Structure 1
Amino acid sequence: MQVTYTLPSPLNNVVLIGMPGSGKSTLGVLLAKAAALGFVDTDLLIQSHSGHTLQAIVDGEGYEALRRIEEQVLCSLDVTGQVIATGGSAVYSDRAMRHLKQNSLVVFLDISLATVRQRIGDFSLRGISKRPDQSLEDLFAERYELYTRYADVVIQGEHKSHNQALEKLLKVTAELQSDPS
């Protein structure tokens, strides 16, 4: 099925937010292909900017350093026609999220805590920006509130394949295009 896709004006980008394992990178690539848009993975930009993996940043400098670098990278993004897959902690920076929302549709890929656990396995090896004493449950609850605060659209990813989530995202953006109010 061929879908013609353009973003509602004045939006130029789609920003994907959500927990690790929610499918931001995978769905981002699929959306970019379907919509003939570019693709930006901000975790890769952070690694390129710092010269270190996310886990090495967290291990060597702490989670706060990762969040600072992430904010710098996000605030310096000046792109159009892109699908932007953010790191799960992007929402900790109000400054970065306001910058992204200026010309982007922000989509929260919502999955349950159980699905996060299933998809990411040992989260201590994932370069996740969290306080050392923070459980995955606490992190999930804290971030969920932030994801819903910044999201323009929420896509339920629970029990959906990537293609099903992509179809839903394309449908929602097409609806926005026909009724931008």
Structure 2
Amino acid sequence: MKNNIVLIGMPGAGKSTVGLLLAKKLGKNFVDTDILLQIREGKTLQQLMDEKGYLYLRDCEASALQTIDGHNLVVATGGSAVYSKAGMSHLQQNGIIVYLETPLQTLRQRIHDYEMRGIARRPEQSFAALYTERDTLYREYADATIHCADASAEQVVSMVCSAVTGLSRAPR
């Protein structure tokens, strides 16, 4: 039985906010892989990007994903988690993968610091191009997709709870 809930999606989709609220509602432990990575590296995501580049940041995230071990967790992943097949495979073993699908326009309204946010992307890559590239990967891994446009964090939590009911017992 899968009893972890793993949230994937773009930066600004609300994974950390929704994850914390979801963990509280369901009585689960909460893990934010961005925080886990920053603690392990002793630097912010942006510092890692500036010093070592986006591929290094993606490698660090892949490594962090594979260290998550436990049951009864809500995991908020970094936006680039889906670039790591090994990391996502590890999370799928005991987790239901939920894509918090958020329209590009909504994300643009939420993210005002794109250049300084520590987003693992090619230096010349626009936010729209990154969105298109990642959306395909998010959909590939998702067991459930939650459409988050115009929904509050509390509404998204309710939608996630509804979506995962029954999926926790389904074989993948």
**Quick check: TM above 0.5?**
yes
Alpha-carbon RMSD: 1.2
Where do 1:140-179 residues align within 5 Å?
140-176=131-167
Identity among equivalent positions (%) equals 47
Distance in structure 1 (CA, Å) of the matches to 2:51 and 2:112: 22
User: Residues 53-106 of structure 1, C-alpha deviation per residue, up to 9 Å, x if partnerless?
Assistant: 000000010000101111111112112111000000000011100111011000
Contact 2:19 2:74 (C-alpha < 8 Å) held by counterparts:
yes
Q: What is the CA distance between 1:36 and its match in structure 2?
A: 0.3
Paired residue total? 171
Matched, 1:52 2:43: yes
Counterpart residue number, 1:4? none
Counterpart residue number, 1:62? 53
Counterpart residue number, 1:120? 111
The one-letter code sitting in structure 2 at the alignment partner of 1:116 is L
TM-score, with length taken from structure 1: 0.91
Aligned residue for 1:29, secondary structure, equals: helix
Contact 2:6 2:76 (C-alpha < 8 Å) held by counterparts:
yes
Contact 2:5 2:75 (C-alpha < 8 Å) held by counterparts:
yes
Contact 2:96 2:167 (C-alpha < 8 Å) held by counterparts:
no
Counterpart residue number, 1:16? 7
Distance in structure 1 (CA, Å) of the matches to 2:62 and 2:164: 27
TM-score, with length taken from structure 2: 0.96
Q: What is the CA distance between 1:175 and its match in structure 2?
A: 4.1
Larger gyration radius, structure 1 or structure 2: 1
Aligned residue for 2:119, secondary structure, equals: coil
Unpaired runs of 5+ residues, structure 1, are 1-9
Where do 1:64-103 residues align within 5 Å?
64-103=55-94
Counterpart residue number, 2:29? 38
Unpaired runs of 5+ residues, structure 2, are none
